[in-house]
Structure 1
Amino acid sequence: MRVKGWALALFFFGGGLMSLLALALPTHGAPDPVGGRLLFGVTASVGLGLSLLAWARPQVLLGKRFDELLMVLGNACSLTSTLGETLLFGTQYSVMVLLWPMVLTAGFLRRRLLGWQVAFSSVAVAVLAFTNDRVLMRGEVWPLEALLTAIPVAFTGLAVAFFRSAAVQEAQELARLGRTDPLTGLSNRRVLFDEFAGVVAATLPGQRVALVMLDLDHFKQVNDRYGHQTGDEVLRCFAQTLQTHAQGGDLLVRMGGEEFVWVMAEPDTDAVVRRVEALRAAYAARPESRAVTVSAGVVHCAADVTAAQLSALLGAADAALYRAKEEGRNRTRVDAA
């Protein structure tokens, strides 16, 4: 959003500044000096005004609410500045500013506006080519001139839109990787703290939130005996088994090493324990588990639990897990929250 604000300020300030400089330049034999100065004055007022607004009150323009208006004003400014040059100086060197609203729309405004921007640019190019032909009387074929100008303008917009889409996809992928455990594909610890409140909010009436701490027993021995590659296969096998036993609203997290957290909503503790026991049995039956067993600590709390209490819940589940370990491992123990 901050980049959009800078882009708005720069584009409109550049157009306004260019128009002010044009008004200060001397002119000789202008086709229409009054009309040209009027158009440059309009461009300077709108461009500098919007750039100041984008600088002083960025929150007004940074959202999507005014995207259509910004697109229209950007096209209007680019057209009036180029027409002003034609009438005041008899040239169209500033035709390059037609790229600015195209880049602005393709790079920073709503994506669905790109088609409208291509249409606006095509019309603007045709108007400029026709004006160039009539006012300057060069006897050129203005439709061909318009086409030759419109093609690079349109393709510039398409290229910017392509790179914007690629950048957005890359950013989304990086964000996903930053929230995903690369070995198992489960969420990582950050997601647990970010989304726990959402799981609680989605709890149906009559249900309570359960947090289950799971740990693979004697996992270090697997790495020591078979190697880390086999150890990774054991972890992936457990993650896959956990995913098959989870329901739609459950949150599955690898906390690190061989420790996992399973957040679910169930009406009573017995239902939670049955699901955990089903998971442990299914995992034990898989050859890829290498006979590794699972210990679990369960804490089942009221549905009005808050995210601020998550650390305390993790501590309670960890205490229940520790008790399961002390009692011989390969079992589930419950601690009340």
Structure 2
Amino acid sequence: MRVDLITLYLLAIGTLLASSALTLWERRSYPRRRRELGVLAAGYATLALGCAAAAIRHSVPGLPGVVGSALANLIIVGGYLLNLQGVALLNGRRYGRISLGIVSMLALAWAIAGKRGEAVMWAYLSAIPISVVCGLTARELLGTRDSKWKQSRNIAVAVTGGHALFYAFRVTILPWLAASFGPHLLAIIGQATMYEGVLYSVILPMTLLRLARDEAHADLRRESQTDYLTGLGNRRWFFEEGARAIRENNAFPPVSCLALDLDHFKAINDRFGHEAGDEVLKSFAKILRSVLGRDVILARIGGEEFAALLPGHESARAKDLAEAVVRRFAQTVTRTADGVEIEATVSIGMARFGTDENTLAKVLAAADRALYGAKSRGGNRLEIARAATTRANAASAPHQLPADHAPTARECGR
């Protein structure tokens, strides 16, 4: 069944307007991307307006054909530029000056071409800015490195990149083909352009909406796995991420685990209030991130209880890091919004994966037992689980910081 060009124009206009309306509707559900989705919706609507102008460019009484063609081409390119801007905003980038330059150069080209050059401009040269803008859009999508967008991003890159190549073909190959096979080929390519445009107007908006949904889903998942106060992982995330890290580190056996608990934390809350206690927890979380680094799995697994998994860390290295946490926190003064200064300390138990502690739950339990040993000896210290220490050929006695470096155990707030 053959479809005439006007019908294809109407189909493209309808799909673009539907995509614009759907994008506007969906933006309410994704407040983080309201601006980007709004720009994309405006781009689809502008493309629809440009297609409508192209369909009637020779039918408006009193309007010269070249003016109608130039306006239609400029509006269409404006729609593509809005799509580029919407995608670029995902990466925090803008194309304001480039967009202005492309529109200005295109308007100048139409002015120079005039009525004599209308056919060449419409059939061939008008495709240049569309190809360039779609190529830039594909590049921006490739620059979106977030793994949660990978599938949607790849589809969008294929759509925009294919669109750019199609219009590049119209500029470079089509003139030669038209000269070889006759001008009737232009009518065929015109219909092919509309078919391809309809696919673009459906697939790209749906893909970009999928990208927004993927991001929103990932954000919700991250929030469900994050402790709202400290920004560290929560208990569930610790066990899920820890199990994954253990599987991935089978070829690198050294995996150490730390159980950490702030000393006398209830006394801090009772004396200074829960808001002050929250500030101490946040201060301690910052120290953990600073001392232990990025390759460590950190979580707040209880009120003042924390856990850390150190894949690829030998016992000696893990012990040094844990000692550094004890020293650093003991030397830190937490200042509340009311100007109150609070000093606090932490006790740490350390265990290493081995024959007996062969699961995350078991090694954390071993570290927890060592932690309570440190607590019973006054806190403000690191203690290493005996079994893990024996297998690591370390001293089996409880480990305490050297006397010349360890801070004196203090009451909170003294």
TM-score (normalised: structure 2): 0.46
Provide the residue aligned with 1:182 in structure 2. 228
Q: Per-residue deviation at 1:164?
A: 2.5
Q: Per-residue deviation at 1:262?
A: 1.3
Provide the residue aligned with 2:344 in structure 1. 292
Provide the residue aligned with 1:212 in structure 2. 258
Structure 2 CA distance, aligned partners of 1:117 and 1:205?
42
2:378 to 317, 328, 337: 328
Aligned partner letter, 1:210:
S
Give the secondary structure class of the aligned counterpart of 1:266.
coil
* Residue 267 (structure 1) aligned with residue 319 (structure 2): no
* Residue 313 (structure 1) aligned with residue 369 (structure 2): no
Let me know the Cα RMSD of the aligned residues.
4.3
Q: Contact 1:200–1:304 (CA<8 Å) still a contact in 2?
A: no
Q: Contact 1:296–1:324 (CA<8 Å) still a contact in 2?
A: yes
Aligned partner letter, 2:240:
D
Aligned partner letter, 1:181:
D
Given the superposition, is the C-alpha separation of residues 311 and 144 from structure 1 closer, same or farther in structure 2, using an over 3 Å criterion? closer
Q: Contact 1:200–1:303 (CA<8 Å) still a contact in 2?
A: no
Give the secondary structure class of the aligned counterpart of 2:232.
coil
Percentage of pairs with the same residue? 31
Structure 2 CA distance, aligned partners of 1:213 and 1:159?
48
Q: Contact 1:212–1:262 (CA<8 Å) still a contact in 2?
A: yes
Q: Contact 2:257–2:352 (CA<8 Å) still a contact in 1?
A: yes
* Residue 283 (structure 1) aligned with residue 329 (structure 2): yes
Give the secondary structure class of the aligned counterpart of 1:110.
helix
Q: Contact 2:261–2:346 (CA<8 Å) still a contact in 1?
A: yes
Aligned partner letter, 1:331:
R
Tell me, which stretches of 5 or more residues in structure 1 are unaligned?
1-35, 37-82, 123-140
Structure 2 CA distance, aligned partners of 1:238 and 1:260?
10
Given the superposition, is the C-alpha separation of residues 159 and 281 from structure 1 closer, same or farther in structure 2, using an over 3 Å criterion? same
Structure 2 CA distance, aligned partners of 1:92 and 1:120?
25
Give the secondary structure class of the aligned counterpart of 1:328.
coil
* Residue 301 (structure 1) aligned with residue 353 (structure 2): yes
Structure 2 CA distance, aligned partners of 1:142 and 1:301?
69
Structure 1 CA distance, aligned partners of 2:236 and 2:375?
26
* Residue 111 (structure 1) aligned with residue 156 (structure 2): yes
1:166 to 184, 209, 212: 212
Tell me, which stretches of 5 or more residues in structure 2 are unaligned?
20-150, 168-186, 336-341, 389-414
Structure 2 CA distance, aligned partners of 1:215 and 1:107?
43
Q: How does 1:176-255 map to 2 (within 5 A)?
A: 176-201=222-247, 203=249, 208-255=254-301
Given the superposition, is the C-alpha separation of residues 172 and 316 from structure 1 closer, same or farther in structure 2, using an over 3 Å criterion? same
Give the secondary structure class of the aligned counterpart of 2:343.
coil
Given the superposition, is the C-alpha separation of residues 207 and 153 from structure 1 closer, same or farther in structure 2, using an over 3 Å criterion? closer
Aligned partner letter, 1:310:
L
- Identify which range, 297-306 or 233-242, moves more after superposition: 297-306
Structure 1 CA distance, aligned partners of 2:348 and 2:189?
76
Q: Per-residue deviation at 1:222?
A: 1.6
1:165-209 deviations in whole A, cap 9, x for unaligned? Answer: 222221121122122212111122222222224433555978622
Given the superposition, is the C-alpha separation of residues 117 and 143 from structure 1 closer, same or farther in structure 2, using an over 3 Å criterion? closer
Q: Per-residue deviation at 1:274?
A: 2.5
Q: Contact 1:99–1:153 (CA<8 Å) still a contact in 2?
A: no
Given the superposition, is the C-alpha separation of residues 225 and 324 from structure 1 closer, same or farther in structure 2, using an over 3 Å criterion? same
Give the secondary structure class of the aligned counterpart of 1:262.
strand
Structure 2 CA distance, aligned partners of 1:144 and 1:203?
57
Give the secondary structure class of the aligned counterpart of 2:334.
helix
Give the secondary structure class of the aligned counterpart of 1:173.
helix
Provide the residue aligned with 2:38 in structure 1. none
Given the superposition, is the C-alpha separation of residues 172 and 152 from structure 1 closer, same or farther in structure 2, using an over 3 Å criterion? same
Structure 2 CA distance, aligned partners of 1:205 and 1:162?
39
Q: Contact 1:187–1:254 (CA<8 Å) still a contact in 2?
A: yes
Structure 2 CA distance, aligned partners of 1:238 and 1:160?
44
Provide the residue aligned with 1:136 in structure 2. none
Aligned partner letter, 1:293:
T
Given the superposition, is the C-alpha separation of residues 92 and 214 from structure 1 closer, same or farther in structure 2, using an over 3 Å criterion? same
Q: Per-residue deviation at 1:154?
A: 5.0
TM-score (normalised: structure 1): 0.55
How many residue pairs get aligned? The number is 229
